[in-house]
Amino acid sequence: MVFDRYLFKSLGIATLFISVTLALVIFLTQSLRQLELVVDAGASGGLFLLLTLLALPRFFEIILPIALMAAIVFTYNRMIMDSELLVMRAMGASPRALARPALYMAGIVTVILLVMTSWLGPVTLSNMQSLRSTIKAQYSTLLFREGVFNSVGKGLTIFVRDRAPGGDLHGLMIYDGRPENKAPVTVVAKRGVLVSTDQGQQVVVYDGSRQAYDLDTGNLTRLDFARYTIDLPEGSSPAGPRWREPDERTLWELFNPDMKSEADKTYRRDFILEANRRLVSPLLAPAFALIGLVSLLLGPVDRRGMGRRIALAVFSVSMLEGLYITAFNFSKHSVMGLVAMYLLVLVPLIGGTWLLHPSSEAAQQRFIRLLQRRRILP
């Protein structure tokens, strides 16, 4: 029991450290994706941080199984090099007894992943997508890039010379040739701002002129103004209700779609596929853990180094992860992909559990001889 607590604590610290490190890497990559949206839209730093944090939970589905496997390899390899596992084996501890703390940790990680995949991940992703839509609607300076002619709907083009940090637009030229106008209109203004109203969004420009060609008389008319308003197309209006993708819905919502919604009916198969993925993916944690445990605990111990066994574990996990992603993509077109997803997770789970069981000495010996023929074991 003392050994179990010691090893469990070591695995917990290593898993937490590796998870935080990988999460920080993901945080940096996601922050770069959100940075352009927030900077172009002129939104606050708080919204930038919130968007990045909301994007993180769904990545723990990948981070935690890898972190657990890396922690197992690191911890057990260190204990082998320090002869701690040799002492435990000399005291009669079986591979299963040595693996028990890691399997407990794998169980905890699996429960955490189930919460992540079934509820927390989709909720935060849905909130992030809704917030992005709101930012695009409320901070629509994103629509207008400096120094280029921006097409905003059919027949409406806006040129902005530069944009101030506060959101003010300077040096505007607007061509409004939308079908509802009697004639094309060109507006030139020194500055302008974007405002949101109940009816939609508008560009309010100041200190400029409005030029229009009169089709009846053939004359060019000009109107100087101090303030002028141009309505933007409905596509630029504040964000309204948004249909949520399957990966934005909780597990309960996936199994209980709104059958009154035509979109939900159309994507019913995608809902079922996503629900199965949510149930299977957490099992990658114990599967990865068992791969690492079988690679390091079975067979003779070489204190000079376990490089080949570690390489075997890393290669096996990488292959399993790659095949799992491939099977999930294939399942969108064929039910065989879904079957392959379950097999890729269940085979290492069942096989690893069987090899570590004390009654499987014959299977363990065959596995060891196989690794020796491959020159992975001495």
User: How far is C-alpha 293 from the geometric centre of its chain's CA atoms?
Assistant: 28
Output the pLDDT for position 66.
96
Mean of pLDDT values over 4-27: 94
**Higher-scoring residue by pLDDT: 133, 18:** 18
Per-residue burial over 87-115, b = 16 or more CB atoms within 10 Å of its CB, e = otherwise: ebeeeebebbbbbbbbbebbeebbeebbe
Mean of pLDDT values over 211-237: 79
Task: Name the one residue in this structure whose structure tokens are 């085979």.
Answer: 347
Give me the sheet containing 220-231, strands edge to edge.
149-151, 156-163, 169-176, 185-197, 200-213, 220-231
Q: How confident is the model at residue 236 (pLDDT cuts 50, 70, 90)?
A: very low
Output the pLDDT for position 230.
87
What would you report as the CA-atom Rg of the chain, rounded to the nearest whole angstrom? 30
Mean of pLDDT values over 307-314: 91
Output the pLDDT for position 34.
75
**Higher-scoring residue by pLDDT: 57, 92:** 57
Mean of pLDDT values over 154-177: 86
* CB-CB contact of 63 with 19 (8 Å): yes
137 pLDDT more than 80 = no
Q: How confident is the model at residue 238 (pLDDT cuts 50, 70, 90)?
A: very low
136 pLDDT more than 60 = yes
Output the pLDDT for position 55.
87
Q: What is the pLDDT of residues 239-294, one digit of tens each?
A: 456 788 899 999 999 999 988 888 888 889 999 999 999 999 999 999 999 999 99
Of the candidate ranges 26-40, 63-77, 120-134, 225-239, the one whose mean pLDDT is the lowest: 225-239
Q: How confident is the model at residue 174 (pLDDT cuts 50, 70, 90)?
A: very high
**Higher-scoring residue by pLDDT: 92, 119:** 119
228 pLDDT more than 60 = yes
Output the pLDDT for position 199.
66
Q: What is the pLDDT of residues 59-85, one digit of tens each?
A: 999 999 999 999 999 999 998 888 888
| Cα separation, 278 vs 288, whole angstroms | 17
148 pLDDT more than 90 = no
359 pLDDT more than 60 = yes
Mean of pLDDT values over 195-214: 82
Output the pLDDT for position 328.
94
Q: How confident is the model at residue 138 (pLDDT cuts 50, 70, 90)?
A: low
92 pLDDT more than 50 = yes
Question: Token pair for residue 56?
Answer: 């993180």
Domain ranges within the chain, ordered by starting residue = 2-138+244-373, 153-232
Question: Could you tell me which of 124, 120, 72 has the C-alpha nearest to residue 314?
Answer: 72
| Cα separation, 110 vs 287, whole angstroms | 10
pTM of the model: 0.77
* CB-CB contact of 176 with 230 (8 Å): yes
Output the pLDDT for position 182.
78
Of the candidate ranges 99-113, 223-237, 323-337, the one whose mean pLDDT is the lowest: 223-237
Output the pLDDT for position 121.
93
Mean of pLDDT values over 29-38: 75
Mean pLDDT over the full length of the chain? 86
End-to-end alpha carbon distance in the chain: 32
| H or E stretch at 187 | strand 185-197
